[in-house]
């Protein structure tokens, strides 16, 4: 059941920054998905016309690697802490807040963040982050499933 | 306050394009130090390119920048074609211009609306501005989107187009496909015209510099891909001579290099204001009239007005895109085939933020033996510092927060390719 539009954000060539895209890969078979680099204007555009959007991205807030954050962006903004060190979270924060200011947020918008450890240039993802991507994918399946029966 | 040392330091992180910081030092009311530091990823790419096939350069270098990948692809393919003695003409050449139009529309609009306009209207960010200027921000988003649509249609996707190759394209669009862009582009043209009027009404700090402008110049066209490399001070050379006339200097405070003219070691200015000054008469008459109508002369030397010049270029790009689509006929082949041979190729094209120079040496097997890439932001870096040296003393009595505001605005005049970082600033002020 394609109950939600999953947007994975990140850069596959910057270590753990690929976390959001790995989650998206795991859900590709069952959901409408989009790989995105976080650029605000096109991200706002990509979210339009979808009732339920789930954004997944790597974050860098100082928490332990692999820690998972889930935020209901209809109710709250993305914390500033996420924006300070991620290579592109600035784009998402800007996109979400711009969409909010313009009244263009999708009716349901959830953000999943996975704390990254290594955001240096290069391929490869930390084991803690790899585990977290599987957990997040399972959580997304579970929460969209719940909604379906609700 | 005047007997104190004031240090204004701005450290900022960027998205993948890089990172930069600004540092101003004021002793006894006198500006004593200006440092702009930009981390410059292309250096890394030059090493990465070695031993790769010449055909890979457009796709590898497109990764240098998420905002202007087309510029990197265009400079790469033109340099390779220069090495191979290949000439790409007719509709394939026109399609390359069309692709560049898409990037200019997208990149310029992002800068005008999301990054620079908030400076003029007194908002810390586009998000804050959107609450009061929702219609303008929506217009910017729509305009930018059309640029992205051109890039997606021609490039295969918006962010890192994959359809560009040495000799042309992997696949060319049908007439019908290009026609789908006409209606959005007509709306974009109207939005671009409104943008020109909107930004021309901003208050601009009174500041001019006697710049040495450097840009491409083509006999007939406003330049994207081709032309002589000319300056406002009489330079007129081929791209192949770039390294004879320009040099990159190491500076202690930065890992990035500063570009200067070899003659006199002077800073120079690349980007919209340089292109405009050196190619004004290549703009269609009615766009020249529009520019004059909003108070822009044939040459603009106030860097804060670069936002208006940029908006004129967006208008031009919309019109040029419509013209190319109107005249389009599907070419016989999507690319021109070339025999591989050893050689060195040079090219400069006009990235949204200025001249982008590439040089490649390839072996008889087509392997890249050496590469040199000089991005526009590296060329403007010393110019930006020079602007701050001139500009800050005029505003030296302002409190730190106001001074920082103007100084950042002055940096953003150049749309440095750390643009995403522009509102991502940490400030520390030390007073001793």
Q: Are B259 and B344 found together in one domain?
A: yes
CATH number, domain containing residue A57: 3.40.50.1450
CB contact under 8 A, A41 and B140: yes
How far does the CA of residue A143 sit from the closest CA of chain B (Å)? 30
For residue range B185-224, what is the model confidence (pLDDT) as tens digits? 999 999 999 999 999 999 999 999 999 999 999 999 999 9
Hey, are the CB atoms on B16 and A85 less than 8 Å from each other?
no
Closest CB to B130 among A39, A87, A102: A102
Taking the CA of residue B12 and the nearest CA in chain A, the distance in Å comes to: 9
Same domain, B402 and B345: no
Average pLDDT over residues B164-176: 96
DSSP letter at A125? Answer: -
Domain shared by B310 and B405, yes or no: no
The angle subtended at Cα B170 by Cα B57 and Cα B342, nearest 5°, is 40
Q: Are residues B33 and B87 in the same domain?
A: no
Q: Flag if B159 and A39 touch (Cβ within 8 Å).
A: yes
What is the ipTM score, two decimals? 0.74
Is the same domain home to B124 and B189?
A: yes
Residue B255 forms part of a structural domain: yes
Does residue B43 fall inside a structural domain?
no
Helix (H/G/I), strand (E/B), else coil: A37:
coil
Of A11, A85, A102, the CB nearest to B16: A11
Same domain as B237, residue B92: yes
Domain containing A15: what range? 5-149
- List the CATH number of the domain containing B246: 1.10.645.10
Within this chain, do residues B122 and B32 fall inside the same structural domain, yes or no?
A: no
Find the CB nearest A102 among B16, B63, B137. B137
Predicted confidence band at B8 (pLDDT cuts at 50, 70, 90)?
low
Higher pLDDT, B278 or B61: B278
Residue B316 lies in domain: 50-384
Do residues B335 and B402 share a domain? no
Residues B184 and B327 in one domain: yes
pLDDT tens readout for residues A47-71? 999 999 999 998 877 889 999 999 9
User: Does one domain contain both B259 and B369?
Assistant: yes
How many structural domains are present in chain B?
2
Q: Chain A 75-104, CB below 8 Å of chain B: which residues? A: 83-85, 87-88, 90-91, 94, 97-98, 101-103
User: Is B424 in Cβ contact with A41 (below 8 Å)?
Assistant: no
Say if A39 is an interface residue toward chain B (CB within 8 Å): yes
């Amino acid at each position: 059941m394609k109950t939600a539009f999953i947007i994975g954000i990140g850069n596959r060539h910057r270590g753990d920054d690929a976390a959001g895209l790995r989650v998206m890969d795991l859900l590709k078979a069952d959901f409408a998905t989009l790989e995105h680099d976080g650029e605000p204007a096109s991200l706002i555009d990509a979210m339009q016309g979808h009732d339920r959007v789930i954004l997944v991205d790597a974050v860098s807030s100082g928490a332990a690697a692999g820690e998972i954050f889930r935020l209901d962006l209809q109710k709250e903004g993305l914390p500033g802490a996420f924006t300070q060190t991620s290579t592109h979270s600035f784009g998402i924060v800007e996109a979400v807040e711009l969409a909010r200011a313009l009244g263009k947020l999708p009716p349901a918008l959830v953000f999943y963040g996975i704390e990254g450890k290594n955001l240096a240039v290069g391929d490869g993802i930390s084991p803690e982050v790899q585990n977290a991507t599987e957990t997040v994918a399972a959580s997304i399946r579970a929460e969209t499933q719940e909604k379906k029966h609700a | 306050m005047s007997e104190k040392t004031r240090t204004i330091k701005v450290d900022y992180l960027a998205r993948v394009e890089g990172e930069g910081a600004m540092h101003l030092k004021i002793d006894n009311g006198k500006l004593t130090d200006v440092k702009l530091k930009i981390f410059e990823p292309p250096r890394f790419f030059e090493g990465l390119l070695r031993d790769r096939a010449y055909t890979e350069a457009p796709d590898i270098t497109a990764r240098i920048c998420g905002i202007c990948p087309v510029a990197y692809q265009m400079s790469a393919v033109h340099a390779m074609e220069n090495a191979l003695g290949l000439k790409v003409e007719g509709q394939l050449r026109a399609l390359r211009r069309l692709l560049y139009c898409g990037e200019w529309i997208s990149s310029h609009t992002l800068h005008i609306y999301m990054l620079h306009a908030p400076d003029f209207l007194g908002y810390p960010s586009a998000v804050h501005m959107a609450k009061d200027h929702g219609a303008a921000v929506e217009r910017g988003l729509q305009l930018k989107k059309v640029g992205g649509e051109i890039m997606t249609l021609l490039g295969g996707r918006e962010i890192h187009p994959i359809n560009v190759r040495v000799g042309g394209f992997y696949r060319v669009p049908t007439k019908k496909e290009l026609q789908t862009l006409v209606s959005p582009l007509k709306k974009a043209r109207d939005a671009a015209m409104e943008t020109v009027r909107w930004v021309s009404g901003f208050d601009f700090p009174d500041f001019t510099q006697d710049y040495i402008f450097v840009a491409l110049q083509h006999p007939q066209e406003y330049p994207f891909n081709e032309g002589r490399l000319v300056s406002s001070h009489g330079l007129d050379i081929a791209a192949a001579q770039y390294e004879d006339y320009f040099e990159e200097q190491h500076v202690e405070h930065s890992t990035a290099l500063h570009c200067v003219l070899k003659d006199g070691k002077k800073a120079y200015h690349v980007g919209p204001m340089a292109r405009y000054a050196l190619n004004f008469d290549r703009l269609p008459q009615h766009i020249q009239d529009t520019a004059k109508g909003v108070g822009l002369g044939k040459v603009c030397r106030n860097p804060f007005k670069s936002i208006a010049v940029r908006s004129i270029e967006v208008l031009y790009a919309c019109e040029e895109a419509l013209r190319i689509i109107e005249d389009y006929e599907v070419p016989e082949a999507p690319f021109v085939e070339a025999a591989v041979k050893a050689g060195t190729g040079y090219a400069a094209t006009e990235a949204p933020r200025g001249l982008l120079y590439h040089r490649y040496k390839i072996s008889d097997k087509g392997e890249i033996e050496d590469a040199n890439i000089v991005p526009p932001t590296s060329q403007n870096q010393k110019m930006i510092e020079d602007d701050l040296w001139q500009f800050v003393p005029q505003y030296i009595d302002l409190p730190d927060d106001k001074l920082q505001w103007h100084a950042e605005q002055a940096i953003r005049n150049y749309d440095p390719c750390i643009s995403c970082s522009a509102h991502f600033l940490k400030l520390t002020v030390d007073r001793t």
